Chain A
């Protein structure tokens, strides 16, 4: 009897492994069709994703907090006399050379839905070690949030 026990145990284990590899209905998934878009939610990539009411620096050479060329001193938004929204960012050139950067803004409503396409890239000249500001107005009045992007001038 013990002579037959080992093969039976091995067979049972193999069957269990095979079954667990398959979905509950016993069929193998087929890799077909488009893949759903996913939001990157990974502790190793804390800067991935959209953070509203902030300034994002797109170019790697400009963005590093330690050796990056730019510092964002302040950012915010206010209402204009016609109730549109003006978003701004005060930017400092950390280098000893003049810099040309470009900024654009996207406006979102209170629940985070984009209500205006990104504005046109607006050029900002920065003197060596100098401070300059980027400002942009919305066209709509139902703005709840903004998102400013900065890149090197091109």
Chain B
């Protein structure tokens, strides 16, 4: 009888091992926490004193609307050629942010809203035209459908600007306060006249225990 019981319990234990896949790998097979979509236009539960999505969207929105109300930029019979890239936009602030995140948003929003009132030059992609012309000269590709290679456009105005900040840290509380400014200007590349300027600023305070990357 004892032998029978021992054999039965061993068989049961073995069968349990064979059917439970977690027993072998020790995988934590729980559902986990689902990711949550949030509104890019509003602050979220995780927020600090750095540059966040609502700031980037707000900057682009404000600058686009102001540029399109400027007669030099958006009221000319011949639309001006503009170059909006981050080469002359400096991040001098203590905020860690990819400045192309701001400039790309600005260029795309402005390009969509301008609707022919400005001509946008993609100087940052200049190598593309040269490479394509080289391939055509080498006989690798044909002439395309938009005509012979043409000189790339000289721009009238170029975006320049900077991000600057001033931090204040409470030595006892560890609370940090940041005054952050974003300055945007359109420079006449022929005369260096600044034909348009605007800025966006904020002051935020928090226990600075977030990592921006």
Known contacts A120-B41, A121-B42, A139-B113; decide if A82 and B58 are in contact (CB<8 Å): no
Contact (Cβ within 8 A) A139 B65: yes
Known contacts A81-B71, A81-B75, A82-B70; decide if A121 and B65 are in contact (CB<8 Å): no
Q: Which of A75-127 contact B (CB under 8 A)?
A: 80-84, 86, 119-122
Complex-state Cα separation, A119 to B74, whole angstroms: 19
Q: Which residues of B contact A83 (CB under 8 A)?
A: 75
Contact (Cβ within 8 A) A120 B74: no
Q: How far is the CB of A93 from chain B (nearest CB, A)?
A: 19
Query: Pick the contact of B41 from A82, A84, A121, A138 — CB < 8 Å?
Result: A121
Known contacts A120-B41, A121-B42, A121-B58; decide if A137 and B65 are in contact (CB<8 Å): yes
B64 at the interface (CB under 8 A from A): yes
Contact (Cβ within 8 A) A136 B65: yes
Complex-state Cα separation, A136 to B71, whole angstroms: 17
Contact (Cβ within 8 A) B61 A120: yes
Contact (Cβ within 8 A) B62 A122: yes
Give the number of chain A interface residues (Cβ < 8 Å): 16
B-side interface mostly:
helix
Complex-state Cα separation, A84 to B115, whole angstroms: 13
Give the number of chain B interface residues (Cβ < 8 Å): 20
Query: Pick the contact of A138 from B42, B58, B65, B115 — CB < 8 Å?
Result: B65
Complex-state Cα separation, A81 to B72, whole angstroms: 10
Contact (Cβ within 8 A) B58 A139: no
Q: Which of B8-63 contact A (CB under 8 A)?
A: 41-43, 54, 57-58, 61-62
Q: Which residues of A contact B64 (CB under 8 A)?
A: 139
Residue positions of A touching B, CB distance < 8 A: 80-84, 86, 119-122, 136-140, 154
Known: A81-B69, A121-B41. 19 other contacts (CB 8 A): A80-B69, A81-B71, A82-B74, A82-B75, A82-B117, A84-B65, A84-B68, A119-B61, A121-B42, A121-B54, A136-B65, A137-B66, A137-B68, A137-B69, A139-B65, A139-B68, A140-B113, A154-B42, A154-B43
